[in-house]
Amino acid sequence: MLKKHNEFFKSLMRLNDLLFISLAWWLAYALRFYTNLFGKPESYVFRHYVIAWLLVLPVWATVFELLEYYRPRRLSTYRREIVDLMKCSLLALLIFLAMLFLIREIVLSRVVVVLFWFCTLIFLNFSHIALREGLRFLRYRGFNLRHSVVVGTGAQARQLLQKLKAYRHLGYNIVGVFLVDETKREPGENDFNAIHELDALLMLVRSGKVDGIFITLPLDQSSYLHEIQQWFGDEPIDLHFVPDLGNLATLRGNVEAFSRYGIVPRMLVGATERDLPVSLFGMDLPTPLFMCPIGVIGLCSQDFHGDIAVAKASAQSAVPMVASTLTQDRMEDVTPHAGDTPGLFQLYTPTDKELTASFLRRAEQAGYKGVVVTLDTWILGWRPRDLNTGNFPQLRAYCLENYFTDEVSCSG
C-alpha cells in the first residue's frame, strides 16, 4: 500500500518537475530572443534549442533520481529540500554544460542557459512547497496516511502516540500497539488499540495493511531490537527505532525550571550611563562575562585546535576563557593565545592527589589566574545521546593532551 502511494507521488513529482523545467527553458528562450531585456538578441538556430531542450529533460530527471531527490520527505524541512534541489540542479547544469562542450555543433546563448537555471530553481521550489502544503492539508483531513504499528513498552508507546497526535500533518495513523512485556502493562494503558499476541501482529503485517513499525524501547532494553527485527524477517516494511523519550528528564526539568525566570526591566532608574566593569578574584574585568569550559571543544574546528581558537577569541573580545581539562592542546600552549586577557583553568579532579597537584602547579606556571573546580563528574554520567551515537572521543585518544604530557600521569 505504501509503495503504491510512494510510486504515485514520485511519478507526480517527476511529471511536475519535467513540466516546470520545460517551462523554464522556453521562458528563458523567449526572454532572450523576444524581448530587449538583455540587449539586442543575437542570431540563433531554433533547432539547436529544441535539441538542447530534449537533452535537458533526461539529464535533470536522471540526476534527481540518482541523488534520491524524490525520497519521502514527511520529516524534512523546507530548507533541507531547497538545499537538495540546489545541489541536484547544479550537478545537472554541470553535466549539461559538459555535453554542450562535447557537442560543438549546438550553439546556445549563455544568457538563455543562465536564465533557465535560475527559473528552474524558482519554479521547482515554489511548486514543491505548494505540493507539500497540499499534502499536509490532505493529511489533516485524513487522507494520504501511513498506517503504522507501535512495538515496545507502555510508557514509551504512550509518549510516542502523544507526539504523533500533536504532529498530525506528518500523517501517521497508529492501527495497533504491541507491548513486548504484557505483564508490565500500567493502569490506563488499556485504551491502546492493543495487539496481545505476536501471531496477530505478524498476521497484520503480512496482510499488507501496515506501512511501517515504530519500535519504542528504553535504553536498558535495546537488546530486544535485534529480536524484534527477526520477528519480521524479510517482510517489506519500514522499521523505525524511536529512542527512549523518557531519558534526559533531568535536563528537561532544568530547562523548564529556568524558563520560569523572566527578565524584568527596570524603569525610571536613570541608567543613562552603563557601568559594566567588575572586580573578581583580584582581576579587573570589562564585563561580568566568562567563556565557560566546554570539554572536547578542541575537535570543533577543522584543524583540531579549537581550544586555541577560543583563546584567540578571548584575546579579541577581552572576555576571559575557562580552559577545560580535556583540551586537544596542552594547557601551556593554549593560554599564550589569550594575550593580556586573563584566563581560568577548569579542573576535573582526578582520584590521584599527586596528579591533581601536578595539574594545579602546571596551571599556575602557565599563567592561569584561577581554578574552576567541577564537583559533579567523579564518574561519567549516563548520557543516552552519546551512547546512542557511540560518541566518546577520549576512547580515540582525543582531548587528553594534558594527561599525555603530564609527568605524574605518564609515570603511573
Tens digit of pLDDT for each residue in 284-342?
999 999 999 988 899 988 899 999 999 999 999 999 999 999 999 999 999 999 999 99
Predicted confidence (pLDDT) at residue 247 exceeds the cutoff of 60: no
Q: What is the pLDDT of residue 251?
A: 67
Q: Are residues 113 and 187 in the same domain?
A: no
Q: Are residues 47 and 63 in the same domain?
A: yes
pTM comes to 0.48
CA distance 46 to 36: 18
Q: Are residues 127 and 161 in the same domain?
A: no
Mean of pLDDT over the chain: 85
CA distance 209 to 86: 37
Domain encompassing residue 357 = 284-411
Band of residue 153 on the pLDDT scale cut at 50, 70, 90:
confident
- Angle subtended by helix axes 110-140 and 78-102, to nearest 10: 150
Q: Render pLDDT for 41-93 as a digit per residue (tens, 0 to 9).
A: 888 899 999 999 999 999 999 999 998 888 777 666 778 888 899 999 999 99
Instruction: Give percent of the chain with pLDDT exceeding 90.
Output: 40
Predicted confidence (pLDDT) at residue 225 exceeds the cutoff of 80: no
CATH code assigned at 319: 3.20.20.70
Q: Are residues 114 and 65 in the same domain?
A: yes
Q: Are residues 333 and 307 in the same domain?
A: yes
Q: Which is higher by pLDDT, 55 or 181?
A: 55
Is residue 291, in this structure, part of any structural domain at all?
yes
383 Cβ contact list (under 8 Å, min separation 6): none
The mean pLDDT of 271-293, rounded to a whole number, is: 88
Instruction: Give percent of the chain with pLDDT exceeding 70.
Output: 89
134 Cβ contact list (under 8 Å, min separation 6): none
**Do 153 and 179 touch, CB atoms closer than 8 A?**
yes
Q: Are residues 118 and 156 in the same domain?
A: no
Q: What is the pLDDT of residue 93?
A: 94
Is residue 274, in this structure, part of any structural domain at all?
no
